[in-house]
Amino acid sequence: MFIDSARFSVTSGKGGQGCAAFRREKFVVKGGPDGGDGGKGGDVYFLVDNNTDTLSNYKGRKFFKADNGKQGLGGRMTGKSGEHLVLIVPPGTQVIDDETNEIIFDLVEVGEKVLFLEGGKGGLGNVHFKNSRNQRPTYFQPGLPGQMRKIRLELKLIADVGLVGYPNVGKSTLISVTSNASPEIANYEFTTLTPKLGVVEVGNYNSFVMADIPGIIDGASEGRGLGLEFLKHIERTKTLLFVIDVANYRTMIDQYRVLKEEVSKFSGELAKRNYAIVLSKIDGYIGENLEEDITNFIKDIGLEISKSNEFKFEGDYPYFIQDLIYSRFDNSKPYFVLPISSLTKLNLKPLGFALYNLLEQGKDEKISN
């Protein structure tokens, strides 16, 4: 089960109390106090593990606690420290204070381990309170209490390319035929109810991660449909791929404008990401002239038909791609507008190479900045 949020309280361990004891040994007269200190309470850590991709371990749990430290013993022996509590989370997890909404940690690096709450210090035994006036102290310190926080975990998947489109426009089919993902596919809207990740192989040595989220509808940024709940999963994607359905009852330009608007309303930062457009389901087109409709769409978004490209786009349909030989990449425009068919596999292999090249443009921008 895919769980992308959890809310619970977590407490570090209480320190063990000190010990009031006196040395009793043969041939030793008035051995004096020798009570040991209490053990330290267990700490609470977060560990980022790539072997998990959900927060399902925390479903239904309301409280987590590290072990308490043990009481000190005679003979100046310190009590055993409490076992640490390690909360394992997938990459992309945010730890948020549930009372103030402050982001405490943003955990994205695999293997990262951070200390969240420190356990209470153990109390001192009576050996520490001996002095010239009181050589037989019978008191000791209690251990200090652990720390408690109410937190919320939110998972935002980390991917290179995030698919954005209306419901039932072919996103699930696209990720299933281009990657190792196996999403549910059916001919009705909202087939995808949870985000899916897939690794797309490009050639023999390169690959990138693609994310599919539930379809976005008008008003998704305001909570309609499933869009608002899962739009957060493309916040971390490096690039966006808008999937426009040429066989949809909505026009291509209407789909594109609504999707761009919803993404922009949800996050101005997300709207600035590099992006590209695919025109899906060209095998299911039922209009009069597909070539003319594609040409008009490309012109409607202020672009011109391209004549050549380095990725060997297939078919006789119009397309657009930025010419990076004579000009720099312009992230205010889509890198390409490409007709595809997941059914006939038209342009799917060139699509992988083009998307990988788009990811490289993002790296170049960071270097230049």
Residue 245 among known ligand-binding residues: no
- Domain ranges across the chain: 1-156, 161-365
List, for residues 176-206, the tens digit of each pLDDT value.
898 876 644 444 344 444 677 788 999 888 9
Residue 300 among known ligand-binding residues: no
What is the per-residue burial (b if ≥16 Cβ within 10 Å, else e) of 246-276? bbbeebbeebbebbbebbebbeeebeebbbb
Residue 254: per-residue pLDDT: 94
In whole angstroms, give the CA distance from residue 337 to residue 1.
35
Residue 98 among known ligand-binding residues: no
Residue 49 among known ligand-binding residues: no
144 Cβ partners below 8 Å, 6+ apart?
14, 15, 41, 120, 121, 122, 123
Quickly name the fold that domain 1-156 has.
Spo0b-associated Gtp-binding Protein; Chain: A, (2.70.210)
Residue 45 among known ligand-binding residues: no
List, for residues 26-55, the tens digit of each pLDDT value.
777 777 899 999 999 999 999 999 888 778
Residue 190 among known ligand-binding residues: yes
Residue 325 among known ligand-binding residues: no
3-class secondary structure for the chain? CCCCEEEEEEECCCCCCCCCCECCECCECCCCECCCCCCCCCCEEEEECCCCCCCHHHCCCCEEECCCCCCCECCCECCCCCCCEEEEECCCEEEEECCCCCEEEEECCCCCEEEEECCCCCCCCHHHHCCCCCCCCCCCCCCCCCCEEEEEEEECCCCCEEEECCCCCCHHHHHHHHCCCCCCCCCCCCCCCCCEEEEEEECCCEEEEEEECCCCCCCHHHCCCCHHHHHHHHCCCCEEEEEEECCCCCCHHHHHHHHHHHHHHHCCCHHHCEEEEEEECHHHCCCCCHHHHHHHHHHHCCCCCCCCCCCCCCCCCCCEECCCCCCCCCCCCCCEEEECECCCCECHHHHHHHHHHHHHHHHHHHHHC
In whole angstroms, give the CA distance from residue 198 to residue 165.
17
pLDDT lower than 70: segments of the chain? 1-3, 181-194, 215, 217-231, 233, 363-369
Cut 0.75: pTM above it = no
Superfamily of domain 161-365: P-loop containing nucleotide triphosphate hydrolases (3.40.50.300)
Residue 281 among known ligand-binding residues: yes
Residue 213 among known ligand-binding residues: yes
Residue 81 among known ligand-binding residues: no
Residue 334: per-residue pLDDT: 96
Residue 282 among known ligand-binding residues: yes
Residue 171 among known ligand-binding residues: yes
Residue 193 among known ligand-binding residues: yes
In whole angstroms, give the CA distance from residue 225 to residue 187.
18
Residue 165 among known ligand-binding residues: yes
Residue 350 among known ligand-binding residues: no
Residue 170 among known ligand-binding residues: yes
Q: Is residue 49 within 8 Å of 110, Cβ to Cβ?
A: yes
Residue 214 among known ligand-binding residues: yes
Residue 103 among known ligand-binding residues: no
